[in-house]
Amino acid sequence: MSQTSIVKPFKLTHGTLLSRNLQNTRKYYEEYLGLEVVRHAKPAMMVRLHSDMYVVCVCIGERVPQQHVLTHWGLNVKTKEEVDQAYNKALALKDVYGIRKIQSVRERHGAYGFYQQDLDYNWWEIQYEPRTIEDFFQAGDLFDVDVHAEDTAESHE
């Protein structure tokens, strides 16, 4: 954490997702993804998983925009076998939960997993990642700030 930053945060607390229908979205989050959900406002609910960080899911109806696979949310599982099981369940339950797209399972960026697009056009990455977040931050920057590179959708399809 930078001690010279303008804002002096002590915790990253939340982000936001958009929903077309909170009832259908809640079913997907709880039954399919295994997330904890609480309805805290008429147009919104909070979502979390074993953390103080949460996501606010706000209903805006049919105005929910398409999302790009590079703007995804990640869920880690404990083994590659659990990734394969989740993938097979996604294929089998696609219509039940309104899953729009399911990409193939593969090794990407050191992890084993797949991406799927939910009923609200949000992308979810289900992955097995042997490294921890501490591994990344302890290693520090791998590239200088002047190195310019762009990711592409093709690298995630």
User: How far apart are the C-alpha atoms of 112 and 127, rounded to whole Å?
Assistant: 5
The answer to whether residue 149 sits within a structural domain is: no
Same domain, 97 and 85: yes
Residue 3 in any domain: the answer is no
Q: Do 44 and 75 belong together in one domain?
A: no
Residue 114 lies in a domain: yes
Interval 100-108 mean pLDDT: 96
**What CATH number is given to the structural domain containing 93?**
3.10.180.10
Tokens 């303008």, located at residue = 6
pLDDT given at position 156: 59
* Band of residue 142 on the pLDDT scale cut at 50, 70, 90: confident
Instruction: Clarify whether residues 78 and 100 are in a common domain.
Output: yes
pLDDT tens track for 107-127: 988 999 999 999 999 999 999
Between 26-30, 36-40, 117-121, 148-152, the lowest mean confidence (pLDDT) is in 148-152
- Average of per-residue pLDDT across 51-56: 94
Q: What is the pLDDT of residues 36-51, one digit of tens each?
A: 999 999 999 999 999 9
- Give the model's pLDDT for residue 7: 81
Same domain for 26 and 83? no
The total number of structural domains that make up the chain: 2
Residue environment code for 81-91, b if the CB has 16+ CB neighbours within 10 A, otherwise e: eebbebbeebe
Say yes or no: 52 and 107 in one domain: no
Is the torsion defined by CA of 72, 29, 117, 102 positive or negative? Answer: positive
Please check whether residues 69 and 131 belong to one and the same domain: yes
Domain check: are 105 and 76 in the same one? Answer: yes
Q: Which residues pair with 16 in a beta bridge?
A: 56
Its domain, for residue 99, covers 65-139
Q: Is the pLDDT of residue 1 over 60?
A: no
Residue 152 lies in a domain: no
